[in-house]
Amino acid sequence: MTGFASLPPVTAAEAGGDTPAQLLQGELEVLQDIRGVLSGGQFTVLTGAGLSTDSGIPDYRGPGAAPRMPMTYQEFIGEPGNRQRYWARNHIGWSHLRRADPNHGHAAVARLEHRGLLTGLITQNVDRLHEDAGSINVVDLHGRFDQVVCLDCHRRFSRRMLAGILEELNPGFLERAEAAGAIEMAPDADATVEDSELIESFVVARCPACGGTLKPDFVYFGENVPKDRVERAYAMVDAARALLVAGSSLTVMSGLRFVRHAAKQGKAVVIINRGPTRGDDLATIKLDSGVSGALSWLAAELPPL
């Protein structure tokens, strides 16, 4: 657990994460093999929550992550009490996640794209740090945390605007949450809060346009990824010579399907992740390591096409 009071804004200087100089000799040897696999053609990058941990955003399943399950779509739409609990936690989580900066890994992926080495980037993260780092051709597979959508009129609104509304509806809430302490963050801007009385006092905002139910504009567990995003991501993989997975355990099918698709087509699959993944048996080569330093090394060492 991390106390809310101990979560300062993450600055660009502090968000670097591991660097190539910190890589072990064994990791460098594997990276040299990966360089050989990825050289000579464009590749697609698929990223997960493990890439953003160096920006101060915890993941769900990496080493040291506390076991927890996010709220499902069915739970969110099923009970007003669930939505109250979620939005109270999200209001706290947003106040931290919005201050995170891209790390060396995000910057490395942007450099790979700018050098013309990528067919595109598929990310399972909703934090928008790839875009902040300068990546352009990005499929935000699971959506984006900086927008909310009305389930009734389908209008979209800025999460920053909603934060202002929630602060007006719940004056002093964040200060009371900070005083309560023992708040655990999650990569989807959720936060686990033990104080049930605090949660029950939270006033949920309605859609400013129609008064309907607002939902963060990202894909919940139990909800399908929009078809157009999936098709665009498949097209990136189809156009690539290889697929590089960075910082994803591939636990959910939304990401694993692209690994299976690439392997079925006979394309090279490279996985860089700290810990096992569901795609390890399909990998051409696997590096068990943090991703920021590895990606930075590749961005510097991969030859131009």
The residues annotated with a catalytic role in the active site are: 142
Distance in angstroms (rounded) separating the CA atoms of residues 251 and 133: 26
Radius of gyration of the CA atoms of the chain, in A: 20
Closest to 128 (Cα-Cα) out of 87, 209, 187, 193: 187
CB-neighbour burial class of residue 7 (10 A; exposed 0-12, middle 13-18, buried 19+):
middle
With the C-alpha atoms ordered 257, 227, 74, 195, is the resulting torsion angle positive or negative? positive
Q: Who contacts 178 (Cβ-Cβ below 8 Å, separation ≥6)?
A: 4, 5
User: For the chain, what percentages of helix, strand and coil (3-state, to nearest 5) are there?
Assistant: 40, 15, 40
